[in-house]
Amino acid sequence: MAGANEICRMSAMTLAKHIRNKKLSPVEVIDAVLDRMDKLEPKLHAFNIPTPELARNTAKKIEKAIMAKEDVGPAAGVPIGVKDLICTKGIPTTSGSIAYKDFVSDVDDIVVERMRDAGAVILGKTNVPEFGYSGVGHNPIFETTRNPWNLDKTPGGSSAGSGAAVASGMGPWALGSDGGGSVRIPSSFSGLYGLKGSMGRVPLWPGTRDERYPGVSSWEALECIGPMTRTVADTAFMMSIIAGPDMRDQRSLPALEMNWMKTIKGNIKGLKVAYSPDWGYAAVDPEVRKVVGDAVKVFEKDLGCKVEIAHPGFENPYGAFWGLVACETDLKGMRAMVAKHGARMTPHLVEFIMRPWQAEDFTNAIMTRKGVVNKMAAFMQKYDLLLTPTLACPPFQLDIQGPEKIQGRMVDRFEWLNFTYIMNMTGQPAASIPAGFTKSGLPIGLQIVGRHLDDPTVLRASACFEAARPWADQWPPLLDEMGL
């Protein structure tokens, strides 16, 4: 019989197999993970709304069904965390805001609906910055989420709690959402694999919006929901469950005529790969350049790709991205929210909401996006894949929005995200994969970007890199220190 620590270090696919074959019981698995949560949560604060009783009851029902030889889903008994921006029927979705602290959706988001139907067991909601408007893990109403690799650092966000949970073995996978990098950011900072599929590959509905509450809605023209896992195979496994069209999402794509698990088979020998270390304009931390540069060499030396340094050629669209975010924000409703709760809201979010936005800001943002899309489309005609750093810096200290200086240059508080949000503007599939560590032992991610709609090649390239540079057996030293 596997011990509790061994169970918590198993992949989602391994757990699903053992549960299905009755080598592990769902109750045994959930008890092991909940025990780990009891020990780690006082340090990490990954789950702002844990649901232990729901998890135990769900596990008991699944165990009963398995023993009765009833049909159960492919992920039956596998624990999962759900980001607190993703609606869950009967479980609060606070979005890290005082304004939504009592909000309980009447429906599941499509991805939650699909994971429940597949038999996954929800452990609770994972922490986020307020409404997801930043890449870190603190908000006005819950404890700050900490990075398992260094408790004084952020795990990244906005899927902060999802990153910290999976990185520390509190479930083998978690759901995140990505409007400007929020799956890939914590995957990079927490040493995980995270995938933002092609825009529309995973349906998104209803978003955080309810007529009973003023304000926010999902960034529907930018956002994608995606897996955060410790292995590429687990991401393919989750995509096989959550991807595919749904009539409730106007942007959802037709199903790919392929098997998600087969996308990670085969090699990438002969692919043409571009490497842009800085887009030609971005400040990048020297350690990030070194670690990512060494990872890129693997594609040429070990994987047989043809790699060259090249940039798509667009000018910095940083301001335009925030214009697009504003377009996707219910400014009227959120300004009413500020009038009521502003003193207890995140200062930079209040500043963003109350900025005197003009129609020209929005049209300029839309036109800039079109330009970036066109430049990238022309660029990707020459390449099968594009590689970049995931982020411009390593994990930084808690309770700030970003570093003031990178590579000796003063930067705006969110310019460390210069590599991630571009892919939300273009809609291309993009993954963050562990590339290595800083000298002080902090994770650094490599971003793998595919052509428009070519999710399979991103996954296959990721699996090849994972095989060449495996990381799944590397865990934060904190776990050994705590006997976990």
**Strand 121-126 with 79-83, pairing:** parallel
Rounded alpha-carbon distances, angstroms, from residue 326 to 198, 215, 331, 332: 22, 12, 7, 11
Give backbone dihedrals phi and psi of 431, rounded to 5 degrees, phi first: -125, 150
CA 22 to chain centre: 31
Q: Is 97 a catalytic residue?
A: no
Q: Is 190 a catalytic residue?
A: no
* DSSP 8-state assignment for residue 416: G
CA-nearest of 64, 112, 66, 67 to 87 is 112
Orientation angle between helical segments 232-242 and 12-20, nearest 10 degrees: 70
* DSSP 8-state assignment for residue 447: E
Q: Where are the alpha helices (DSSP H) in 45-98?
A: 52-67
Query: Which member of 25, 83, 153, 177 is catalytic?
Result: 83
Q: Is 182 a catalytic residue?
A: yes
CA-nearest of 313, 374, 26, 84 to 216 is 84
What distance in Å separates the CA atoms of residue 442 and residue 138, rounded to the nearest whole number?
Answer: 19
Query: Which member of 182, 218, 276, 432 is catalytic?
Result: 182
| Contact between residue 157 and residue 147 where contact means Cβ atoms under 8 Å apart | no
Two tokens, residue 255: 């199903």
What distance in Å separates the CA atoms of residue 91 and residue 96, rounded to the nearest whole number?
Answer: 14
| Contact between residue 160 and residue 130 where contact means Cβ atoms under 8 Å apart | no
Query: Which member of 11, 158, 168, 276 is catalytic?
Result: 158
Residues belonging to the active site: 83, 158, 182
